[in-house]
Structure 1
Amino acid sequence: MTFLSRASRFGAVGARNLLVPFVVGSLMLSGCSNAKPSITTSGGSNGLSANQIVIGGVASLTGPLTADFAPIYDGVNAYFDQVNASGGVYGRQLKFQYPLDDASDPSQDIDQVRNLISNFHVFAVVGVATPNFAGASLLANAQVPTFGMAINPGWSPSPNMFGVGGSYTSFSAPQTEVAFLAEQVHATKAAVVAYNVSQSQQGCQGVINGLKKFGISVVFQDLGIPAPAIDLSADVARIKSSGATFVASCMDVSGNLLLSQDLHQGGLPNITQYWLDGYDPAILANSTNTSLMDGVYFLISHAPFGVETTNPSAYPGMVQFFNAMAKYEPNVQPSEAALDGWMSADLFVTGLKAAGKDVTRAKLVAAINKLTSYTANGLLPPVNWRISHTGNGSDCQAFVQAVGTQFVSRFGSGGSVFTCYSLNSSQVPIVPLNGVPGLPGLTNSGGGSKS
């Protein structure tokens, strides 16, 4: 998963999308292209006919990172299949005809984006999931409506680029959420560890900035751990001598598991751990990992898996997602990547319905950018698309904690699994916001196909 996560858009990475960092670095160095393709901005009705809409995607289906990105297409397919089974949108079937593979390579990403725009003439690109979205500027300049994982800077500020949960990212701004967590567990001294690559370091710089902003002392930090981590016992010894009772890690899940093992062996079994990678029921269910993950906190940007059974009326989008995956993708395990595909497709269809039967690309983009409290039917905190290409005044996230073989929601507010924070406040202790319009669990608005 990638260090440029969108789980906390305004303060660093969150619990999602941590890509193996040294792989990312090598891909970025080896695959860059300086070519300046000629892309037309005309074609507002490309891929559009009286009875269908032709759609493409670009994701990492092959290469070293497939597990983190390829399932996005499963979610897109399940959503489109459900819509098509109900007659499509204004009588048009959604044809996901060009789900392309960039092999996790920036130069191939550019080539495939060119194909989507100039050769296949798709109406929209739905389901972008790649560590190096090098073709983003081509889609932005061609004004092609684009939907997917916003884990790269190229999603902002273009009005036709729609990342799941918003398109703006800032990885070094103070991460309020981690400071809030430290306060909740009564930690006053923290340790922070990261790999020696920019994606990991940037994530943890936001963590450090957030802790310091709200008065949590960072008594130990190591942002230079070689990847992959082999032995963290020396770091653990220094964490122990520093007196830290809280540790935040911006490593991948294998590094985090090693950290937890060394903390237990080093005499710190009860230190509070916050990982930016590892929210995966399959990983937690592995008996080797369960004890090492027990008690660890994670931050996610969507409603947690499980709300479809514990509170289905408040989070109907999750119920619809699981039902559609079981029906249309029965051999696929629901995952965060698949959920991103589902939410990408939902926003696209929500925009199509709002734009009307005589839709064009421009009308679709304009319709979505009028949405002020989009939640994908309870899957997301409210997204205000009038401003979410360039920033926001608040941030809403969900904390979960590994307890045995389950992830349990923590610190929700106002009947919701989400906790919202002002990005402009320095108040200590941190006081979560109340009354956020459209907050799932209170009211639901925006999106969601009917099952």
Structure 2
Amino acid sequence: MTDTTVKVGGVLTKTSASGYSTKDAEIGAKARFERANAEGGVNGRKIDFIGAEDDGQDAAKGDAAAKKLVQKDQVFALVPVHAPNFGGAAFLEQQGVPWFGWATGPQWCGTKTGFGYNGCLAPKQGAGSQTWWGRQMAELLGGAEGKTVYVQTSDSSGSKYGGTTISQSFTAAGFKLVGVNSGLPAAAPPPDWLPYVNKIMTSNGGKAPDVVVSVIAGTKFNVGLYSALKRAGYKGALTDATSYDAAILKDQASAQALEGVIAAPMFEPFESTAPEIARFKQDVEKVAPGAVPTQHMAIGYWAADIFLDMLGKAGKDLTREKFLAVGNGDYLYENAGFGRIQYPKDHTEPNGCGALVKLEKGAFQVAKSMKCFDNVPLK
């Protein structure tokens, strides 16, 4: 940090053995920082964004990347951090270095330096847990009274944990939970979906449930599950957190399988008419002409946006200690793009905000715009 610049860099999973990549988060963060610089910077300082390191979805590489950014590149903060297996959390906490991104894992939660753009998504028992997904679905379906829900996860620890929090989100909204199945192998889709489909189709006292929630990472899994359910005659609502992806529409079989599915992004959808989304698209177009908006792009953008707001509130007389004191001292920021964030509360619980998008006739439509709901203690 100098009198005229603040240096930041990120850590992403740009490459991985599975093909999973969050590289677009770099475009999103750069887009937001470029606009801030074009507007004159923050308290007289421009953002010197040096780009993002690749952790290859390896915790040790993430730790090394964080150390390089802090010790060699001497960044003020890490923005964006978007890596499911990020291994640099303990080092950053020990050094008092702020980091911003998507707090999908427990390494973000309970820190004083890690700021998830939508809070901590892995709350411990007794801490606040989200109800927004269930409540948004209830509003979309005309109420939850008398309606049933079935939750399908894989046998991975993250998927099973999500099954717990998301089941509670739907029961808090008034749905009756008729089943949670975590027996699906996480390594690859099963050769035969029939055993899973039969359980679902008879879970509601021998009948099908009104809603099936998939807490499974991977389009191939969801395409297989939804196709099998439709073949079995399922007519209820299908919902998941991952099917809001423009790449899906390029494959006809995938688009057909996901037709009618309701995805649940934790940001305002790109199809929204909200001015914040129009500005997001304009900012991205300036740094990456022709780029199609993605979830990872939005996460990088909103993580950078929160960092900039916190930086502004920290004032011109800037130190890391003062910055963290602002972030952890009754900090509140609201934006229609992602909802709201409150710290220190959201170091231990999610921000409670989300939207719904439905795939209809091969195109995504906003089903429910971004809305925030109160959390309930995780049982």
**TM interval, short-chain normalised:** 0.7 to 0.9
Contact residue 53 and residue 94 of structure 1 kept, 8 A: yes
1:404 aligned residue: 361
CA gap 1:171/1:275 in 2 versus in 1, 3 angstroms: farther
> Which residue type is aligned with residue 367 of structure 2?
R
CA gap 1:179/1:143 in 2 versus in 1, 3 angstroms: same
Contact residue 174 and residue 208 of structure 1 kept, 8 A: no
Say which SS state the counterpart of residue 125 (structure 1) adopts: strand
2:107 is aligned, of 125, 135, 154, to: 154
Query: How far has the Cα of 1:108 moved from its partner?
Result: 0.9
Query: How far has the Cα of 1:273 moved from its partner?
Result: 0.9
**TM-score normalized with structure 1 length:** 0.74
Task: Note if 1:244 corresponds to 2:214.
Answer: no
CA gap 1:349/1:183 in 2 versus in 1, 3 angstroms: closer
Query: How far has the Cα of 1:237 moved from its partner?
Result: 2.3
Contact residue 149 and residue 340 of structure 1 kept, 8 A: yes
Contact residue 268 and residue 337 of structure 2 kept, 8 A: yes
> Which residue type is aligned with residue 336 of structure 2?
G
Task: Note if 1:388 corresponds to 2:346.
Answer: yes
> Which residue type is aligned with residue 156 of structure 2?
V
Alignment of 1:415-434 (within 5 A): 417-424=369-376
Alignment of 1:18-417 (within 5 A): 48-64=1-17, 67-97=20-50, 99-167=52-120, 169-170=122-123, 176-180=131-135, 181=137, 185=141, 188-212=147-171, 216-227=175-186, 228-230=188-190, 231-242=192-203, 243-245=207-209, 246-251=211-216, 252-268=218-234, 270-284=235-249, 286-307=251-272, 310-312=273-275, 316=276, 318-370=277-329, 372-375=331-334, 377-391=335-349, 395-411=352-368, 417=369
CA gap 1:174/1:323 in 2 versus in 1, 3 angstroms: closer
Contact residue 226 and residue 257 of structure 2 kept, 8 A: yes
Contact residue 161 and residue 167 of structure 1 kept, 8 A: no
Contact residue 267 and residue 298 of structure 2 kept, 8 A: no
Say which SS state the counterpart of residue 358 (structure 2) adopts: strand
Query: How far has the Cα of 1:261 moved from its partner?
Result: 0.8
Whole-angstrom distance in 1 between the partners of 2:24 and 2:377: 38
Contact residue 168 and residue 388 of structure 1 kept, 8 A: no
Say which SS state the counterpart of residue 227 (structure 2) adopts: helix
Alignment of 1:8-27 (within 5 A): none
Whole-angstrom distance in 1 between the partners of 2:139 and 2:299: 31
Whole-angstrom distance in 2 between the partners of 1:168 and 1:264: 31
Contact residue 270 and residue 293 of structure 2 kept, 8 A: no
> Which residue type is aligned with residue 131 of structure 2?
T
> Which residue type is aligned with residue 63 of structure 2?
I
CA gap 1:58/1:281 in 2 versus in 1, 3 angstroms: same
Structure 1, 198-207 or 159-168: larger mean CA deviation? 159-168
Say which SS state the counterpart of residue 269 (structure 2) adopts: coil
Whole-angstrom distance in 2 between the partners of 1:217 and 1:88: 51
Contact residue 65 and residue 104 of structure 1 kept, 8 A: no
In structure 1, stretches of 5+ residues that fail to align are 1-47, 412-416, 427-451
> Which residue type is aligned with residue 196 of structure 2?
D
Whole-angstrom distance in 2 between the partners of 1:183 and 1:353: 37
Whole-angstrom distance in 2 between the partners of 1:171 and 1:233: 35
Give the share of equivalent positions with the same residue, in percent. Answer: 28
CA gap 1:373/1:266 in 2 versus in 1, 3 angstroms: same
Structure 1, 84-93 or 175-184: larger mean CA deviation? 175-184
Query: How far has the Cα of 1:147 moved from its partner?
Result: 0.8
Contact residue 249 and residue 255 of structure 2 kept, 8 A: yes
Q: Give the count of matched residue pairs.
A: 365
Contact residue 171 and residue 203 of structure 1 kept, 8 A: no
Whole-angstrom distance in 2 between the partners of 1:333 and 1:184: 27
Whole-angstrom distance in 1 between the partners of 2:280 and 2:19: 21
Query: How far has the Cα of 1:99 moved from its partner?
Result: 2.1
Say which SS state the counterpart of residue 69 (structure 1) adopts: coil
Report which of the two has the higher share of strand.
2
Contact residue 168 and residue 389 of structure 1 kept, 8 A: no
In structure 2, stretches of 5+ residues that fail to align are none
CA gap 1:226/1:125 in 2 versus in 1, 3 angstroms: same
Q: Which has the higher contact order (CA 8 A, sep 6+)?
A: 2
CA gap 1:190/1:424 in 2 versus in 1, 3 angstroms: closer
Query: How far has the Cα of 1:168 moved from its partner?
Result: 5.6
**TM-score normalized with structure 2 length:** 0.87
Structure 1, 163-172 or 259-268: larger mean CA deviation? 163-172
Whole-angstrom distance in 1 between the partners of 2:95 and 2:377: 38
Whole-angstrom distance in 2 between the partners of 1:348 and 1:65: 30
Whole-angstrom distance in 2 between the partners of 1:425 and 1:50: 44
Whole-angstrom distance in 2 between the partners of 1:160 and 1:52: 21
The one-character-per-residue Cα deviations of 1:73-129 (angstroms, maximum 9, x if unpaired) are 111112222222333334433222252111110111111112222222211111101
Query: How far has the Cα of 1:266 moved from its partner?
Result: 1.6
